[in-house]
Amino acid sequence: MSVVEQPTATLHFPPLQPPKRYLFGPGPTMVDPRVYAALSKPIVGHLDAYFIQVMGDVQQLVKMVYGTTDGSALVISGTGSAGMEAAITNFVEPAAKFAVFANGYFSDRLTEMAKRHGANIARFEKSWGEVYSDDEARDFIRREKPQVVAFVHAETSTGALQKGDAICKAAHEVGALVIGDCVTSLGGVPVNFDETGIDVAYSCTQKGLSCPPGLSPMAISERAMKWLGARTTSPRSWYLDLKLIHDYSTVSHRYHHTAPISMFYALREALMVIVEEGIENRWERHRRANRSFVGGVEALGLKMHVPPEHRIANLSTVRVPPGVDEAKVRKHLLDGPGIEIAGGFGPLAGKVFRIGIMGPLATEENVQFFLREFKKALNAQGYEA
C-alpha cells in the first residue's frame, strides 16, 4: 500500500483586510453599520420559529417599500437576476407571447431568459437611454396582444426611468400580466406598485436598499397570485418555483431550501433603517442629492446622458467629454481616494460614467466630496473644467 505524503509546507493566507472604498457606482452600495452588525448575529435553523418570524417581518417591510398592500411579497434566495428569472419562469409559459420594452442591457437579459423558457418574443426597440411615451406603449401592446409584458423601471445601464402607468393599463386591457424590473429603483425612488398596476416586480438588496447582495425581494399582485395558482403546468425551474417558495415562507413553512439566514437578518435591518428614516423622506433625500450632483456635474462643463424628466434620482449617467479616457478617470478615482464608479457597456461603452448617489452616500457632504475628487481625476486626464 502506498503512503500519500503530506505536504511539508502549510498554505498561508493573510487575514481579510478589504480596502476602504466609497461605492459611488451602480451597485453594490455602501452598507449601514447596523446592517453589518445584523450579519454578525448568531444564526438559527431555516425552519426555526425565530427565522420564520424574521421572514414574515421582511415580507411586510418589502411590501412597504414597494408601495403595495395587495398580493404577496416574497424574497428569493439569490441576487436580482434570480428574481428576474423567477418572474420569467413562473409567469411566462412556453409559446406565450412576451412583449418587451427594449431600451437597455437588462431588457435584453429579460429577452434572453424568456427565449430560454420557450416564449414567443415581441420587442419594441429604442436606443439606450430613451424611454417610451404613453401612446407608444399603448399602441405596441394593443397591436401585439401579448400574454405577458415586461419593462425595466430604472435601467441601470442607461440611467433612464420608465413610467409604467400606461404600460400596465394597456396590458390589463388585453388581459396581460406586467413584469417590472425594479432592481435599481426600489428604496431610492418610488415604485408605487399598486398605483402603477404592476403585477410582478423584482429587485435586489445591494442598490437602493443599501444591503449586501444576495437576496431578491419580489412583490406579486393578487391578480398574479390567482394566475399562478391556476397554472396547470410546472415552471421549468424547481428552485425558483414561486408556489413552493410561497408555501415555505408564508403558508406551511415546509422545507424548500436552506435560506441564507444571515442575509435575511441584514435585509430586515436595512429595511428598518428605511422605516425609521421614513420612505418618503428617503426618496426626497435622494432627489436633493441628485439635484446637487447634477448641478455640480454641469458646473464642470459635463453633460448628462438622459433628459431631466427621465432621470433616475439615485443613478446617473454622465457623458465622457471628448478626448478623455473614462477607464483612466475611474482608475484615478479608485487608486487615489478609493472611489468606485462604473463605465458604460454595450452601445454606451466608453461614452458614459455610471455614478450612484444612493443610500448613506446620498448627502450634500458626500456629493461635494465626490465632485471634488471627480474634478481632480478629470483634470489628470487633461480635461479643463
Q: Where are the beta strands (DSSP E) in the chain?
A: 22-23, 72-77, 97-102, 120-125, 148-152, 154-155, 160-161, 177-181, 200-202, 215-220, 315-319, 339-340, 342-343, 352-356
pLDDT at 5 over 80: no
Q: What would the pLDDT profile of 87-142 be if each residue is shown by its tens digit?
A: 999 999 999 999 999 999 999 999 999 999 999 999 999 999 999 999 999 999 99
pLDDT at 368 over 80: yes
The percentage of the chain sitting over the pLDDT mark of 70, rounded to a whole number, equals 98
| Long-range pairs of 241-244 with CB within 8 A, sequence gap ≥ 24 | 241/89, 241/90, 242/74, 242/86, 242/90, 242/218, 243/90
Confidence grade of residue 365 (pLDDT, cut at 50, 70, 90): very high
The length of the chain in residues reads: 385
Which residues face 219 on adjacent strands? 73, 201
pLDDT at 369 over 90: yes
Q: Which among 237, 198, 248 is positioned nearest to 218, based on CA atoms?
A: 198
Bond preceding residue 308 cis, omega within 30 of 0: no
Structure letter (DSSP) for residue 236? S
Burial of 258 (0-12, 13-18, 19+ CB in 10 A): exposed
| Helix-strand-coil split of the chain, %, nearest 5 | 45, 15, 40
Amino acid present at 281: N
Distances (CA, A) of 48 to 43, 217, 261, 356: 10, 21, 10, 38
Helices 134-144/165-173 angle, 10° precision: 20
Q: pTM of this prediction?
A: 0.95
Confidence grade of residue 10 (pLDDT, cut at 50, 70, 90): confident
Q: What integer is the mean pLDDT of 276-300?
A: 98
Report the distance separating Cα 73 and Cα 220, nearest Å: 6
Alpha helices per DSSP H over 76-203 = 80-91, 105-116, 134-144, 165-173, 193-196
Amino acid present at 63: K
Report the distance separating Cα 210 and Cα 165, nearest Å: 27
Ordered by where they begin, the domains of the chain are 22-27+278-380 (3.90.1150.10), 33-275 (3.40.640.10)
Contact at 8 Å (CB) between 287 and 49?
Answer: no
Q: What would the pLDDT profile of 30-67 be if each residue is shown by its tens digit?
A: 999 999 999 999 999 999 999 999 999 999 999 999 99
Q: Which among 193, 92, 101, 231 is positioned nearest to 148, based on CA atoms?
A: 92
C-alpha angle 243-144-101 in degrees, rounded to nearest 5: 70
Confidence grade of residue 332 (pLDDT, cut at 50, 70, 90): very high
C-alpha angle 246-187-73 in degrees, rounded to nearest 5: 10
* 234 three-class SS: coil
Amino acid present at 158: T
Q: Which among 24, 69, 86, 73 is positioned nearest to 268, based on CA atoms?
A: 73
Report the distance separating Cα 147 and Cα 99, nearest Å: 8
With cell 396582444, the residue in question is 145
Q: Which among 180, 155, 146 is positioned nearest to 165, based on CA atoms?
A: 180
Q: What would the pLDDT profile of 167-213 be if each residue is shown by its tens digit?
A: 999 999 999 999 999 999 999 999 999 999 999 999 999 999 999 99
Q: Looking at residue 385, what is its pLDDT?
A: 78
Q: How far apart are the first and last CA of the chain?
A: 75
pLDDT at 2 over 80: no
Q: Looking at residue 4, what is its pLDDT?
A: 58
pLDDT at 6 over 70: no
* Mean pLDDT value across the chain: 96
Contact at 8 Å (CB) between 65 and 274?
Answer: yes
Q: What integer is the mean pLDDT of 271-300?
A: 98
Q: Looking at residue 234, what is its pLDDT?
A: 96
pLDDT at 230 over 90: yes
